A = this chain, B = another copy of it.
């Protein structure tokens, strides 16, 4: 199991929009940096658009950032690309046997523990912004 790379691709896109904000970022250009297909990019950009993180318009070349990256957390991106649903990071087997004391209570018993673990992970994502990401990229670049 692994959370979809849509998340890392979306971060890549947003970081590139910032770093290349002077240029025109078409889906083909973005796909070239990510090394994937322009359609994959358009699908993810579409999700970022729905989340009001970018602006794109049919027929007009280029995607642009809507917000300052210091105002966008990794959690915002994570929700935008819909990689994990609320309370559903862990799946619980359904239809355990209600005739059994364990079977009839296991779901309600386990759920809060799983949710707590998911929330802890998501809190970390909330604690970092895309500005942090871009800064780290710039710092790594300057080391050469």
Contact = CB atoms under 8 A, between A and B. Distances in A.
B15 A137 contact: no
Interface string A110-141: 10011011101111110010001100110011
Interface residues of A, number: 58
A33 B100 contact: yes
A105 B35 contact: no
Contacts of A54: none
Interface string A8-46: 110110011001000000000000111110000000000
A116 B126 CA distance: 12
B9 A103 contact: no
A66 interface: no
A125 to B, nearest CB: 6
A106 B11 contact: yes
A80 to B, nearest CB: 15
